[in-house]
Amino acid sequence: MKKYNMETIVGIFVVFGLICVGYMTVKLGKINILGDNSYSLIAKFTTVTGLRTGSPVNVLGIEVGRVERITMDQENLKAAVEIRVKKDIKVYDDAIASIKTEGLIGDKYLSIDPGGGGDLLKPNGVIKDTQAAMDIEELISKYAFGEVKKEKKEEKK
């Protein structure tokens, strides 16, 4: 009889451990099983160099979502970025989406200025005003090879 009691206790601990691992996987993986409290928006850029699926989306410096998918719009020859934003965040049709860098050479993230002068964007709405990331490598190469023109100030005597 003692053998079955020990096996039952071990079984309970194993089941409890599996439940804990499953819970942590869902929470740390940011997977929503029961419901989704976010909506999708689309922004089209000329280039999305460095931006990846899963990159954060910030509004006023606060993380409010993630980059869901990056595809190419063959018609307009632009990169279409699908983002998921929390439902309680209001984004208007005059919003500006820009790709920024964390620090000097950090990861890229999407920053949204939510606007406020127009109508609210509905789910799957398109943010029309976008700004691609500044390519630091290109600027350095232009400076190194002398393509950047320096303005000379004339001294008045």
- Residue 152 within any structural domain of the chain: no
Please check whether residues 47 and 75 belong to one and the same domain: yes
Which domain does 96 fall in, by range? 38-134
**Is residue 109 a part of any domain in this protein?**
yes
| CB contact at 8 A, 88 and 62 | no
pLDDT of residue 155: 45
pLDDT 10s digits, 31-90: 655 457 888 999 998 888 888 888 899 998 889 989 999 999 888 888 899 999 988 888
**Phi-psi label, residue 77: left if phi above 0, alpha if psi -120 to 50, beta otherwise:** left
C-alpha–C-alpha distance, residues 40 and 42, integer Å: 7
Averaged pLDDT, 133-157: 64
Query: Does 99 share its domain with 66?
Result: yes
Domain contains 142: no
> Quick one: how far is CA 152 from the chain centroid?
41
Looking at the fold, whether 20 and 64 belong to one and the same domain comes out as no
Looking at the structure, tell me whether residues 86 and 122 fall in a common domain.
yes
Q: Is there a single domain that holds both residue 42 and residue 30? A: no
Whether 19 is in a domain gets the answer yes
Distance between CA 74 and CA 80 in Å, rounded? 10
- pTM here? 0.65
pLDDT band at 18 (very low <50, low <70, confident <90, very high): very high
**154 belongs to a structural domain:** no
Q: If DSSP states are collapsed to H, E and C, what string results for 89-121?
A: CCCECCCEEEEEECCCCCCEEEEEECCCCCCEC
**Residue 27, both tokens:** 């929470």
* Pair (13, 50) in one structural domain: no
Q: Which helix (H) or strand (E) holds 37?
A: none
**Nearest-angstrom CA–CA distance, 79 and 73:** 6
Q: Looking at residue 147, what is its pLDDT?
A: 64
**100 and 114 within one domain:** yes
Lowest mean pLDDT across 77-86, 108-117, 135-144: 135-144
Q: Give a yes or no: residue 62 inside a domain.
A: yes
Q: What's the domain count of the chain?
A: 2
